[in-house]
Structure 1
Amino acid sequence: MLKQENVKIRKIQPQDDLTLAKIIRNSLKSVHLDQPGTAYFDENLDHLSQYYQKENRWYWVLEANQKVMGGIGLERFAYFPNCLEVQKCYLCPEARNKGWGYRLLEIVEQEAIQKGYEMLYLETHSILKPAIALYRKRGFQEIERPACIVHSKMDRFFIKKLEVQPCD
C-alpha cells in the first residue's frame, strides 16, 4: 500500500538508473512492446541520470518507502515551438491506479509552465489504454503523427497547450 506520507517525488540520481531501466523494460515487455522502435532499446535507458543531466532535460522519480516505483521525464521537443516532450512515464505495477501517474504529469506540467514552455507533447502506443485515458484526463489532445518521431512503433500522439500565467 502506498500511503501519501511514505511517497516522495524527487529528481533522478545515479543510483536510480538500474531500477528505472528495469521498471521501463518490464512494463514494455508485459504488453509485448519489448521490440525495436520503443524505449525498450533506447541507448540511454541504463543511464537515465546522465541523460537527463543535460540542458533542457529533467527527470523525476516516484519513491515509496525508499523504493523507486517509477518516474517521468521532460526534454525539449524541437518539432513544435516552445514545447517539451513527456518521456519515459512508467510505474511499477504496485504503484499503478493510485493517482501517482496523474501526480507525475501534474508535476511536469507545472515545471514546464515555470520554465516558460507553452506546450507538452507525448507519444504512446494504442495498446496502453490506461495511459491514454490518463493523458486525456490531464487534458492532452490527440494529433496526427508528427514527421519527426524517435520511437517508430508508437502510434498515438498527443499535445497539451499549457496555461501560462503572465508575470505580475
Structure 2
Amino acid sequence: MPEAAPHATPIVSIRPIEARDDARMAQIIRTVMPEFGACGDGFAINDPEVDYMTRAYAAPRCAYWVVERNGVVEGGGGVAPLEGAEADVCELRKMYFLSSMRGLGAGAMVMERALAAAREFGFKRCYLETLTGMDAAMRLYERTGFRRIDAPMGATGHGGCNTFYLLEL
C-alpha cells in the first residue's frame, strides 16, 4: 500500500459546536485576540460566554460552528441576535481562527453558514465589530458585502473594537 504524500491536503470540516469544544474554543479565542492587541476590558476575550460557547449558542436564533483540520478544532464563528438592537439585526460573533488555519478559506466557509442561518432565523441585517489590524478579516467582510458604518450598534460590551460593519441580508 502506498504511503500518503508528505504534503497531502489537510482535511478541513465544519460542524456545529459541541460541549466538548468549549475549552478548545476558549483557548483559541484567548490565543488569537492578543495577536491583535485585543486584551483587557472591552474585548470578547473577557466575555463570560467564551468558556461556555455551547450554552451561549443554544439560545433561540443562535448558531456556532467549529472548523476542524485533521480532526483538531482550529477556529470557529457564529451568529446571534445583536443585544440592544432591533429584532431583525444579528451579529456575526466570535469568529476566530488559529494562524495555522488562516488563508485556507475557513473564514469564508463559516461566514457563508452563519449568514445562511441568519436569513433562516429571519434576520434582515448582520452587524459585526472588529479591530484595526485585523486586515485579512476586514477584506473578507468587504468581499462578502459588508459595508463600514461610522458607529457601533447595539450593546455588545466590546468597547475596545473600533471598526464596525453592516450587511443587508
TM-score, normalization by structure 1: 0.89
Amino acid at match of 1:18: A
Q: Corresponding residue for 1:152?
A: 159
Deviations along 1:91-143, whole A, 9 cap, x unmatched? 11111011111111111111112222211110111121111111101110001
TM-score, normalization by structure 2: 0.88
Residue 123 of structure 1 aligns to a residue whose secondary structure is strand
Amino acid at match of 2:158: H
> C-alpha root-mean-square deviation of aligned residues, in Å?
1.7
Greater Cα shift, 29-38 or 133-142:
29-38
Amino acid at match of 1:21: A
Q: Corresponding residue for 1:21?
A: 26
Distance 1:53 1:118 in 2: 21
Q: Corresponding residue for 2:3?
A: none
Amino acid at match of 1:55: P
Which structure has the larger Rg? Answer: 2
Task: Provide closer, same or farther for how the CA distance between residues 102 and 2 of structure 1 changes in structure 2, counting only shifts above 3 A.
Answer: farther
Task: Provide closer, same or farther for how the CA distance between residues 43 and 158 of structure 1 changes in structure 2, counting only shifts above 3 A.
Answer: same
Contact 2:81–2:87, Cα closer than 8 Å, also in 1: no
Q: Corresponding residue for 1:108?
A: 114
Distance 2:167 2:57 in 1: 22
Distance 2:138 2:86 in 1: 21
Unaligned 5+ residue runs, structure 2? 1-6
Contact 1:2–1:64, Cα closer than 8 Å, also in 2: no
Please say if 1:88 is aligned against 2:94: yes
Distance 2:148 2:121 in 1: 24
Pairwise CA distance, 1:148: 3.3
Distance 1:84 1:58 in 2: 11
Task: Provide closer, same or farther for how the CA distance between residues 24 and 53 of structure 1 changes in structure 2, counting only shifts above 3 A.
Answer: same
Identity of aligned residues (%): 29
Pairwise CA distance, 1:156: 0.6
Distance 1:154 1:2 in 2: 38
Alignment of 1:43-58 (within 5 A): 43-58=48-63
Tell me how many residue pairs correspond in the alignment: 161
Amino acid at match of 1:64: R
Unaligned 5+ residue runs, structure 1? 163-168
Contact 1:2–1:95, Cα closer than 8 Å, also in 2: no
Pairwise CA distance, 1:32: 1.8
Selected match of 1:130 from 133, 136, 142: 136
